[in-house]
Structures are given as structure tokens and as C-alpha cells.
Amino acid sequence: MVTGRKYFPVIFSALLLGGGLAISILDAAFFEEWVKIAWYALAYLPVGTPVVKKAVDELLRLDFANEFFLMSVATIGAFAIGEYAEAVAVMLFYEVGELLQQDAVGRARGNIKALLDLRPDRATVKRGGEWVTVKPGETSVGEVIMVKQGEKVPLDGELLSESTTVNTSAITGESRPDRIYRGDRIHAGSINTDGVAEIRVTRGFADSSLSRILNLVEEASQRKAPTERFMRRFARWYTPLVMSMALLITFLPILIVEGYVFTDWVYRAFVFLVIACPCALYVSIPLGYFGGIGSASRNGILFKGADYLDRMKDLHTLIIDKTGTLTKGNFKVTQVNAFGIDSEELVRLTAALESRSNHPVARAVVEFSGSNHSGLKVEDVTEVPAHGMKARIGGKEVIAGNVKLMARHGVEIPTEAASIPYTCVHVAIDGRYSGYLVIADEVREDSASAVSKLKKMGAREIVVLSGDREGITREVAGSLGIDHAHGDLLPEEKTAIVREYLDRKRGFVAFAGDGINDAPSIALADIGIAMGARGSDLAIETADVVIQTDQPSRIAGAVSISRATNRIVWQNIWMVFIVKALFLGLGAVGVAGMWEAVFADMGVALAAIFNAIRILHKKA
């Protein structure tokens, strides 16, 4: 935010300007011409000097196509023809606009400052059997840190404690506390809200998720949207054109106006220059995009540049990975069918066997069983990679795995079980088929609403890609209302499908994913989107947009913020052009004076600024 000291020059000039106008109205005898010049010159210096200095600096670089040059020429000229108060007023209101712009940018950066405040300045690390307090930057990967209840997590890591609850709202925009368990990732900037947590550091301080977020948001403001780049090119011919027209207004009437008075026409030219100053566009357009980026990051959506924010409004096709994006990537046992054995006993024996494996499917079975399988003696364990396991449990031979493993051991699977499209753990006991456990990936709670919102927003095609089975992929897509689905894909096959949609040239194509195998498709798409909470580093680094919450609905939120930003930017552009065109005409024919010029210039600039900051309150 703007500090109070920055307002001193403006307040000083405003007091002198107000005092000068009051004295002029009272027609005080001492307010002679030389006193008036000195008075208004003193009022002009605090607000005019910075602008004139910038104009001179640009002239030394042989650049006069800027608003500083126009302001300087117009106000110095106004002084030359005796319009002292108007010259001060132009610079005064310009500086007020600049301060309000800084204040608005400060508000846009408020969420970034909140992240900075979240970055802890100390970490409690275990060294030599004791807990010592150090700066986060002094810790190393692999060390164990302790975070007490209510403290901020200083570094990215892996939870060693049994479980804890963390508040990630400042990073992800998600207000609901997140319960995590041993082995889960925990991000720097999260707040531990449940007891004492021990964490093994997995990333150095500079590489933490919080530091990456800050860098992404700060760098995003440097990447310009097409509208911003156009306005910079526009200024290159606009300023010379305005200067030429001002010269014509001054000297052309000599040929066509009887009783030509030089000071009258040069006054009109200076009025014209003040009105023509494009500072309202220079201020409001970047502010609009910066506000959009700030609003998005507050909602857990990180745009790596204003150009990507601008593209999102024209999303035509969204191609989205299934596992970990539309689904949670967490395998759960959803169904148990037993043949000739109690289903609880089937689960108990299967979990005892699977407890010897680290495969995600095996962990799902063990988690489903709870502690029921403890106490069983497991011997002669044999694991067949990509197929399953075999062992002796309580004197019985237990085989658990896929169809191919059953066939290898001569176990016949009933048609009912063989036709299930989902992942199944088939179980045989002593050579006889005994049942199966269905393992399915959970669909995210907001995936259906994400698809619905995107369709309402005009996304023409939504496509699901997955390395998972074709049948599973199509069933998930159908349950979410998605028409196009492709399964059994290798990474290069995903990329080929993305390229096929890009070649159709029907609008911007976005790809959303979270894994290392998604990175090529993310890089290829017009808009690459990474699900950042649990996504791979490569996917996040490659992406143009990062969804910090892993909620697919935030993609729709990104489109909404993009469109709101674009709408506000173009509202400002049209407002500025219409008001300026009107007053330029009035100024050229002598109807509008310097005070009207001040309104046309800074009045419309202030209106544009206030309009632009509305985007800060946009919800995803």
C-alpha cells in the first residue's frame, strides 16, 4: 500500500493550488503577477518535477512517444500563456491518479504479501538428538523438523507422524482443513492445526512450493497480454499524431480565421494535448490484468503470465487426464465377492498377502482390511511383477492377482468376474477360485460440477485421456457427462491426440494433467494446466496455469476470471476512447478549457482505475 509520506507532495501542491484560487477569487492586492507566478511555480514543482524528469530521460533516449512528454509540453505551455492554476491542476491530478494506481496495485498484491507473511522465519530441526531452532534456509533435505500446533510449516516435506490436520487456505484458496497421514506430502506455508507434527524435509527452502508460488505470481506480471502489447505499439504512432494535430490547431487557423490571436489557439492546442494524454490507458490496462492474476492466485489458480490469462477466456477444447485430475488417484476397494468362503475371511487372507507389497492396489486392500489380517503367518512369498503375489498363509496356498496370474496357475475364472471392467484382485485358495475384490479410483467430488460449468461457459469439447483401461475411462467419462474418452494410452499417444485437436484450428486447446507422463501434452497445448497440489514438479514447471487445489472446478473458475478481466479491460478502453474523442473535439473548437481537459484526462483515468480494481473481488 502507498505510505503516508508519498502523499506529502500532493497535499502540499493541493493546499497551494486551493489557496491560490481562493486568493484570486478574493482579488487580494498583493497577488500580483510575479507573486502569482512564484506561488504556482512552487505548487507545480512537487508534482510536476517527477513527470518532467521522466520526459527528459525519455528524450535523451530519443523517445518522445510517451505520456510524460505530452504532459510536460502541455503544462509548461500553459504556464507560458498565463494559465498557472490549470497547469498545476493537470500535474496534481496526474499524481493523484498515480498514487491511486499504486494503491490499487498494492491491493492486487495483497494476497501475494499474505503468502510472504506465511513464509516462516524459523524451523525447529532435530540435530544430535536435540531440537534446535534455525533459519529455514539452513536446513537440508532429509532432516527432520517439528511443527507445533498453530505454527506454520517452514519447508516442503513428508509427514512422519501418524496424522495431522493442516490449513492450506492461504496457498490453495481452499478454506476446508485437510487431514493428511503418514507418508503424505505437506507444503510450506500450511498451518498445522492438530498437535505436534514431525516432517522429513524433501525440498530446500528456495525450492519449496511456497517459494515457487511467489516466483510464479511475481513473474506473471512481466508477461504481457496481447491487449497490453497492442497499446504500447499504439502509443508509438499516437503521440506523433497528437503532436502534429496540436501544431495544426495552433498554426492552421492563421490561413482561415480572421482576427487570429496566437495565444488563444496555442491555449487550445495545450488543452488538446492534455485531453489526448493516454495515461488512463497506460494505467488501467496493466492494472486490470495484474488484478486478474492477483484475484486468480487468491483463488488457488496461478497464471504464469497475462497472456495465458487472456487466452483462457477463449477456451474451446479441454483435454483432461483422468487419474489424479478427474479422479483422486487413490485406489479404494469398492466391492468384494466371495465364492465358497466368507467374504470377511477372503479379505483377511488377501490383505495378509498384499501387506508384503508396496503396490498402490496392495495398499488399498490392506487399508480396506484394517487390522483384521494381523496375526496371520505369511510364508514363502513370491511376487510376480505386474501380475500379483503367491504365499502360504496358515497352511493354505493363497494366490492374489490379475487374470494372467490366475491362468498361469490353471485357475478358471467365472465369466461374471472376468468381464468386470475395473481393476480386480482375483483370489485363489489351494488352487480353487475363491472370489475377487474390485479396486476403483475415486472420482473427485467437484469433477461433475466442473464439466457442467465448463459446458455452460461454452467449452465446445471436453475430452478425457487415460493410460487406464478403455472401459474404465469411458465409464468415468459417462458418469461425468463427458462425450469423448480414450483409454489404454501411452504418453506419446496422449500427445498425438492433443496435436490432432490443435490441428483442427477451432480455438484454444487446453490440456490438464498432473503426472510426469502428462508433461509433453501440457507443453504442447495452447494452454497447459497442471494440478499442483499433488502434481509432479515437471508438470508444474511445464504448465502455463497451475491449479493449487487439484479441484477441476477451478479450471472453470480460471475461465470466469479470465473473461471478467477481459471485460473490464475493454470497458476501460472504450470508456477512455469515447470520453477523449468527445473532449478532443470540444477542445479543438474552443468549447472545452483546461479544467475540462483535466477532467477528460484524469477523471477518466480515475474511473478506469476504480473499474479495474473490481476484478480483485472476483470469486473463482
Q: Using one digit for the tens of pLDDT, what is the confidence trace for 599-611?
A: 776 677 778 778 8
pLDDT at 212: 60
Instruction: Give tens-digit pLDDT for 319-376.
Output: 998 877 888 877 788 889 999 899 999 999 999 999 888 777 888 899 888 877 878 8
The span from the CA of 308 to the CA of 526, in Å, is 9
pLDDT at site 620:
62
Whether residue 2 is predicted with pLDDT greater than 50 in this model: the reply is: no
Return the higher-pLDDT residue of 108 and 494. 494
Q: What percent of the chain has pLDDT over 70?
A: 83
pLDDT reading at 169 higher than 70 = no
Average pLDDT over residues 533-554: 75
Express as a percent the part of the chain with pLDDT over 90.
19
CATH number of 301-327+444-562: 3.40.50.1000
Catalytic residues: 321
HSE (side-chain half, CA atoms, 13 Å) at 595: 2
CB atoms within 10 A of CB 407: 12
Residue 415's φ and ψ, nearest 5 degrees, are -55, -40
Choose among 243, 274, 254: nearest CA to 90: 274
Whole-number Å distance between alpha carbons of 609 and 98: 10
Please state whether beta strands 545-547 and 527-531 pair in parallel, antiparallel, or not at all (unpaired): parallel
CATH number of 329-442: 3.40.1110.10
Q: Name the segment(s) of the chain with CATH classification 3.40.50.1000.
A: 301-327+444-562
| pLDDT value, residue 112 | 46
CATH 2.70.150.10 region(s) of the chain?
A: 120-153+156-202
| Fold (CATH) for 120-153+156-202 | 2.70.150
Cα angle, residue 548 at apex, residues 543 and 549 outer, rounded to 5°: 135
Higher pLDDT: 456 or 31? It is 456
Compute the distance between CA of residue 249 and CA of residue 586 in angstroms, rounded to an integer: 12
Q: Where in the chain is the domain with CATH 3.40.1110.10?
A: 329-442
Look up residue 519 and give its three cell numbers: 508433461
198 vs 1, higher pLDDT: 198
φ, ψ for residue 109 (rounded to 5)? Answer: -85, 0
pLDDT at 229: 58
In the structure grid, which three cell numbers stand for residue 287, read together?
492494472
